[in-house]
A and B are shown apart, each in its own frame.
Chain A
Amino acid sequence: MSSIPSQQKDGVIVEQEPENEMECLRRENARLRKDKALLSDYIRRKTNQLLRVMGTATLQPEELDDATLVEVDPIGIVAESFQQVLEHLQETNEDLDEARQDLQAVFDSVGVGIMVVDSDMRIVSFNRKMREWFAMDDDATGKICREVVCDGAQSEIGCIFHDVMASRRGEKCGDTVLGGRHYQAMAAPIKNARGEIDRVIIVYADITDRKRMEDVLREAQVRMHSIFASVQAGIILVDCETREIVHANPAAETITGYRLHDMVGRPCQGFICPPPKGQCPVLDLGETIERTETEMIRADDRSLPILKTIVPIDLDGRPHLLETFVEITELKDMEESLRQALTEVQSGRERIDAIVRSIGDGVVVTDTEDKVVLMNPAAEEFFKVSLVGENIHEVGSLFEDQRLYQNLVSALTSSETEDFHRTSSVREKSRVLQGRSSVIRDLDGRERGHVLTLRDLTREREVERLKREFVSNAGHELQTPLTAIIGFSELLIGQEDLPEETRQECLRFINEKGEELSTIVDNLLDINRIASGRRLQLHPEKCDLRHLASEVLVPFRSKFTRHDFILDFPPESLLYRVDPQKLKKVLESLLSNAVKFSPEGGKVRLLCKRLDDGFELSISDEGIGMAPEQVQRMFEVFYRGHTNNPAFSGTGLGLAIVKEMVDAHSGKMWVDSQPGQGTSFHVKIPLLDESDA
């Protein structure tokens, strides 16, 4: 730097002549100092500029002199630091950009609509839900949100944007209907550093489904309340924890006689549960559901029969008991009436059943489908099969006798009266049955089935046969003595010169045959009296049985001299009150039978035994005896056991009359007999009171 331009003028540097060298050096030095100062100032300014950009304090001249300033190269240091600041800013921007993208993703994917508007209500940004719900596209940006979202319909009143602008804080709008859907809107202001509202962020949540659910719930609640109020059963709701009544319906008020405010808050025990029970069936006794008939004490202390049901339920997250009850007074009365009616019906049915079961006639009842609904034991005995529950057309295989089965089917399907014979198996006797059927009709005349009654006519037919035999037989029995009487009397009339001895003989025969006739006539009269239902009249008197028996035996011993009559009586006294005439007849008849059916020379034994309560007479023979069947029927009127043998004549009345006379003494009579083994008749007569007559 040998020359220094002093001044510039029109682009030409004019060299000035130095006054002297010192002056020149001084000026040069001054210029250099000035340049250095300019340089320091420049460095200081640039350094401060960079420091300010970096956001830190600037250099102070007193803190750093120029020499140090040049030495430390502050620009280099600060520039390098500034480069790091820039790099850091770049990294921060990248992080911010990433965060913005994350935020945008959340913004778009969140389940609510988000929209940002500026202070002029113009849309700044919005998310995907807003596009979806309000058909917003990119053109919506910059438009007034009311025209896009609210379709211009929303006035300032009720506009959440205006609310936020007015209140300058977050606002909430309960239910906004937009495009037929319900939204809940929330908005908040975004303020700048000066506290002015730059943006308003509005968030929409679609609550349409929730609203619908709420509506459904509200309707259900209304319905429930309506049912609760109108149902005729009493309903009481009890809180399980406090055991207090929390609600009751009008029917509960009516039935219990308490008003709602009397019940609510009171312990449930004592209202519909009888106090003595003491324990809740559900809460204390562990029953899941209780359903019982019980009695409730009303507010007016009147006892009321109720049917109650207790069911545990959860209500508002708390366990409750739902107690329902209905008054059953009428039901109980009806139940009692029904029970009585049923008892009567049952009793009547049992009575009819007993009658039907016990009558001798068979009864078979069928329904309209020809199924047997009733068959009494007599009918089962007739057919040897039970047909109850069976269809009458399907039981043919159960019958041995197909003719009988056809008779049965025919009788049960027509209303004609029919007689049919039961042609029984070889083991049984032929029986005569009469079946009579008729249609069963109800009160309206509708056919309900058939009833068949079966009568066993076997015995009637047998009696008729026996009667016919009797008439023939009795004629013969009467004819025999009459013939003898007539013959001997003609002899006496026609021959006057008969020797006196012969005359006496004839007269004795006539008398004897007359006695036989008298006996026969007596028997006929007795039988006639028995048949007419008149009881034999007893004439008891104290008799010595030994004497009585001896008297009876006299004529037998004289008449049947070939028979051996043995009187086997105990030695002690045998004084008893009996009707002597009737007891004589009994003995005569039994002795007569013994003689009749015994061979000549046979023993006929008359035994008497004393008993504590009377006596027993037995007449035994060594005769032909009787078969069991004959024994069974021997006391029947007109029955004759040995009709095949003409030697054993008789009327078939003797034993029937004997039996009647023993019965008149309140006695019993039985027989031991076997064919060919003889017969023993036993007669037991009890002690007679004085009153027996």
Chain B
Amino acid sequence: MSQELQFDLRGQICPSTLLTALREVNRHRKDLRQGSVRLTIHTDNRDSTATIPEAVRNMGYRVLVEKKDGHYLLHIDFPVEDQGAGA
């Protein structure tokens, strides 16, 4: 089971949110790619639900956008084949 790291970026606007999100993805790049970590970004900036997934997907990650309690949750992980196969 991978570890979930939460980042609450509510109150920030894009592209600050984007840059923060990219910075966290870069920081946890190794763990993400190994599948031991997944990130959940909390944001209330609607534009970020388009810019973050767009940028992160180009980097090879998988993003799931979820709306919850008046804000957005962006779940980011790396599609490790073994994980998918085992699910």
Which residues of A are at the interface with B, using a C-beta cutoff of 8 A?
51, 54-60, 63-64, 68, 72, 74, 77-78, 80-81, 84-85, 87-88, 91-92
Contacts and interface: CB of A to CB of B under 8 A. Distances in A.
B14 A84 contact: no
User: Which of B14, B16, B59 lies at the interface centre, i.e. has the most chain A CB atoms within 10 A of its CB?
Assistant: B59
A58 B18 CA distance: 10
Looking at chain B's contact residues, the main secondary structure is: helix
B26 A81 contact: yes
B14 A63 contact: yes
Contact of B26 (A58, A59, A84): A84
A85 to B, nearest CB: 5
18 contacts: A56-B18, A56-B55, A57-B18, A57-B47, A57-B54, A60-B14, A63-B13, A63-B14, A64-B19, A68-B16, A72-B19, A74-B19, A80-B22, A81-B22, A81-B25, A84-B29, A87-B60, A92-B60
Contacts of A88: 58-60
Contacts of B15: 51, 57-60, 63-64, 74
Nearest to A92: B60
B11 to A, nearest CB: 13
A54 to B, nearest CB: 5
B63 to A, nearest CB: 12
Contact of B58 (A54, A57, A72): A54
Contacts of A78: 19, 22
A285 to B, nearest CB: 63
Contacts of A74: 15, 19
Contacts of A57: 14-15, 18, 47, 50-51, 54
Contacts of A63: 13-16
A64 B16 contact: yes
A77 B58 contact: no
Nearest to A74: B19
A81 B58 CA distance: 9
Nearest to A84: B59
Interface string B21-45: 0110110010000000000000000
A55 B55 contact: yes
Looking at chain A's contact residues, the main secondary structure is: helix
B55 A77 contact: no
A77 B13 contact: no
Interface of B: 13-16, 18-20, 22-23, 25-26, 29, 47, 50-51, 54-55, 58-60
A692 B3 CA distance: 150
B71 to A, nearest CB: 18
Nearest to B54: A56
Contacts of A54: 55, 58
Contacts of B60: 84-85, 87-88, 91-92
Given A57-B14, A80-B26, A88-B58, 19 more contacts: A51-B55, A54-B55, A54-B58, A55-B54, A56-B58, A57-B51, A58-B15, A59-B15, A63-B15, A64-B15, A68-B16, A72-B16, A72-B20, A77-B19, A77-B26, A78-B19, A85-B60, A87-B60, A88-B60
B56 to A, nearest CB: 8
A55 B14 CA distance: 15
Nearest to B22: A81
Nearest to B48: A57
B26 A85 contact: no
Contact of A81 (B14, B50, B55): B55
Contacts of A68: 16
Contacts of B23: 72, 77
Contact of B59 (A58, A72, A81): A81
9 smallest beta-carbon distances between A and B, as pairs: A88-B60, A84-B59, A56-B55, A80-B26, A81-B22, A56-B54, A57-B51, A59-B15, A85-B58
A253 to B, nearest CB: 71
Contacts of B29: 84
A88 B13 CA distance: 27
Contacts of B25: 81, 84
B82 to A, nearest CB: 16
A434 to B, nearest CB: 118
B38 to A, nearest CB: 16
A85 B59 contact: yes
Nearest to A58: B15
Nearest to A62: B13
Nearest to B16: A64
Contacts of B19: 64, 72, 74, 77-78
Contacts of A58: 15
Contacts of B59: 81, 84-85, 88
Contacts of A64: 15-16, 19
Nearest to A68: B16
User: Which of B20, B47, B60 lies at the interface centre, i.e. has the most chain A CB atoms within 10 A of its CB?
Assistant: B60
A332 B81 CA distance: 87
Contacts of A60: 14-15
Contacts of B16: 63-64, 68, 72
Contacts of A56: 18, 51, 54-55, 58
B72 to A, nearest CB: 16
Contacts of B51: 56-57
User: Which of A56, A57, A60 lies at the interface centre, i.e. has the most chain B CB atoms within 10 A of its CB?
Assistant: A56
